[in-house]
A and B are shown apart, each in its own frame.
Chain A
Amino acid sequence: MPGHPEFAAAFDAGLKGAPLPRGVTALAPAEAERRFAVYRNNVAVGLIDALAKRFPVIKRLVGDEFFAAMARHYSETQRPTSPVLLEWGNGFAAFLESFPPLADYPYMADVARIEYARGRAYHAADGTPALPDSFAGADPSRLRLHLHPSLQLLRLKHPAVSIWQMNQPGSTAQSLAHAGPETALVLRDPGFNVPVFSIGPGDAAMIEQIMGGASLTVAAELAIWTEPGFDPQPLILRLMQAGAILTPKEIAR
């Protein structure tokens, strides 16, 4: 009889479709195949369900049956590498990009990037939002903002934020306003909601500069250079309201 490592390898191969591993039996041995199929099914369905939970809009876009088949293929080729399933699925967008049946739907990968980022935001570390008067009297040229760990910026080739929003429960939007690229801002608010915003080039540049450690003044200057006429005030206000700005820090002289 094989040892335990050989047994587990054969069992795992069986889960992936290889013949029944040696030694697997039942009181009525003819039933072994059908009984083993319970494990095959549990593993497949468990992973498909985990992806469906993480990528609900993709599922809605392609339909339940297509999603299940596609998720099964993904989960068999890119099994989770950790028991912490909330980290799984970071390769799903790239998988969709190179999945031949979706060749005519290039935006699908970008929608998946948004959904994966939302999951990351949902589980990201906590941070205490700054109070409205935290910045009173601060010198913007020496003010460096700390953003919430959940905040992510995604530069997307397709209007995936609009597509994601159209596919939210209760959305009434019928058609896309444009077909060009979008930049997604994903964050977790103090009520643990994870909204997704489409933001302009000035907003994106400003956030990237802040995340890179630039002072408020430098970030604003670069944002205005990126988008002439850009006004940083509404963005800062919006980030404050979303609890995305944490304790302010003055850069030492």
Chain B
Amino acid sequence: MRSLPKAAGVGFKPEHFDAIRRDAASVGFFEVHAENYMGAGGLPHAQLAALRADFALSIHGVGLSIGGPGPLNTDHLARLARLCNRYEPESFSEHLAWSSHGTEYLNDLLPVPYTDETLALVCDHVDQVQEALGRRMLLENPSTYVLFEQSTIPEVEFLSEVSRRTGCGLLLDVNNVFVTCTNHRIDPRAWLAAFPLDRVGEIHLGGHDEEALPSGPLLIDTHGAAVADPVWALYAEVIKCTGALPTLVEWDNDLPEWPVLQAEARRASRILEQQGATYARAS
């Protein structure tokens, strides 16, 4: 199976389709949310097929509820399998989060307490996904706003263990690292130092919002702004350690014009070249 190019990619939005057809310089791949392409036909599939013909593709699920207590929705898994068979993406990824409860879909990536019970559950679910899709998936670290008294396993250890037990790769969202660490007053560099960077198959970068709490800032993962400077700095440090990796810029809300997003991709490209070169010299 082909893999994503070690270049900058952009989350595809239909609003940008025409501009992308005119100029997609410095974009090495596109990523789409799986659930937006689960209709039978029409413009979404016409656009995706056209993009897919010219670019590497990452399909990113937001609705599997891998961290949920219930069994995975097998209808949804079958839809994902059909989508992957149709477009043969270079990568499929999902979140360490839950988004459904019983028969209800909650449309948000909700946090999972990190316990032996949830670790076993998440591993079972990841196994099931990889079996149903016949491919290795990437699991993404979340942005979180609360902690759980019942958690007994540090987040990094939880993710490492899921990857070790299931063989899945990891999607390192550097913005989520920054958001989560800031929110829980953890040093993001310590978080990253413990993280198994050798398991990372893709990096995500996105924008966040900030609120003020008595104890300090509360960052909210909105995907509605440019990538923040401290996130760029962390990203450059990661690439210096790992060498170039497929890197996606996400911007899902308050969409900018295409050139703005393209400029973000260009910034990621430059870091990939510069820090990737530093890595090559050092290794």
Q: How far is the CA of A82 from the CA of B62 in the complex (A)?
A: 12
Which one, A1, A81, A123, A125, contacts B105 given CB within 8 A? A81
Indicate if A169 sits at the interface (CB-CB under 8 A): no
Report the stretch among A41-49, A105-113, A154-162, A245-253 that lies at the interface: A41-49
> Which A residues touch B42, using CB under 8 A?
122-124, 126, 150, 188, 192
Indicate if B100 sits at the interface (CB-CB under 8 A): yes
Indicate if A5 sits at the interface (CB-CB under 8 A): yes
Indicate if B215 sits at the interface (CB-CB under 8 A): yes
A46 touches B215 (CB 8 A): no
Which one, B40, B107, B117, B145, contacts A38 given CB within 8 A? B145
Which one, B45, B69, B73, B147, contacts A26 given CB within 8 A? B147
Indicate if B113 sits at the interface (CB-CB under 8 A): yes
> Which B residues touch A30, using CB under 8 A?
214
A24 touches B146 (CB 8 A): yes
Residue of B nearest to A31 (CB): B213
A7 touches B107 (CB 8 A): no
A26 touches B146 (CB 8 A): yes
> Which A residues touch B54, using CB under 8 A?
none
B43 touches A192 (CB 8 A): yes
Q: Tell me the chain A residues, 135-152 only, with Cβ under 8 Å from chain B.
A: 149-150
Which one, B98, B101, B105, B218, contacts A82 given CB within 8 A? B105
> Which B residues touch A84, using CB under 8 A?
35, 38-39, 63, 76, 79
Indicate if B1 sits at the interface (CB-CB under 8 A): no
B76 touches A8 (CB 8 A): no
* Distance between A3 CB and nearest chain B CB, rounded to angstroms: 6
B107 touches A43 (CB 8 A): yes
> Which A residues touch B39, using CB under 8 A?
84, 86, 122-124
Interface size on B, residues (CB 8 A): 53
Find the residue from A38, A81, A124, A150 having the highest chain B CB count within 10 A.
A38
A15 touches B43 (CB 8 A): no
> Which B residues touch A28, using CB under 8 A?
213-215
* Distance between A43 CB and nearest chain B CB, rounded to angstroms: 5
Q: How far is the CA of A7 from the CA of B148 in the complex (A)?
A: 10
B103 touches A31 (CB 8 A): no
Indicate if B20 sits at the interface (CB-CB under 8 A): no
B41 touches A83 (CB 8 A): no
Indicate if A35 sits at the interface (CB-CB under 8 A): yes
Q: Mark A65-85, 1 if CB is under 8 A from B, else 0.
A: 000000000000001111111
B184 touches A122 (CB 8 A): no
Find the residue from B64, B73, B146, B185 having the highest chain A CB count within 10 A.
B146
Q: Tell me the chain B residues, 47-94 only, with Cβ under 8 Å from chain A.
A: 62-65, 68-70, 73, 75-76, 79
* Distance between A190 CB and nearest chain B CB, rounded to angstroms: 11
A25 touches B106 (CB 8 A): no
B150 touches A7 (CB 8 A): yes
Question: Given A25-B147, A26-B147, A123-B41, is A79 in contact with B69 using a C-beta cutoff of 8 Å?
Answer: no
A3 touches B117 (CB 8 A): yes
> Which A residues touch B65, using CB under 8 A?
83
> Which A residues touch B100, using CB under 8 A?
83
A11 touches B117 (CB 8 A): no
B40 touches A125 (CB 8 A): yes
Pick 28 A–B contacts, CB within 8 A, sort by A: A2-B150, A3-B69, A4-B121, A5-B70, A7-B150, A8-B68, A11-B101, A23-B148, A24-B147, A24-B148, A26-B215, A27-B184, A28-B214, A31-B214, A36-B145, A38-B218, A39-B146, A43-B108, A46-B107, A46-B108, A50-B107, A82-B105, A84-B79, A122-B43, A123-B41, A126-B45, A149-B40, A192-B42
Known: A23-B148, A25-B146, A126-B41. 19 other contacts (CB 8 A): A1-B150, A26-B147, A28-B213, A30-B214, A31-B213, A31-B214, A31-B218, A35-B183, A38-B145, A39-B145, A42-B108, A81-B104, A82-B73, A82-B75, A84-B39, A86-B36, A122-B43, A124-B40, A125-B41
Binding site for B on A (CB under 8 A): 1-5, 7-9, 11-12, 15, 22-28, 30-32, 34-36, 38-39, 42-43, 46-47, 50, 79-86, 122-126, 149-150, 188, 192
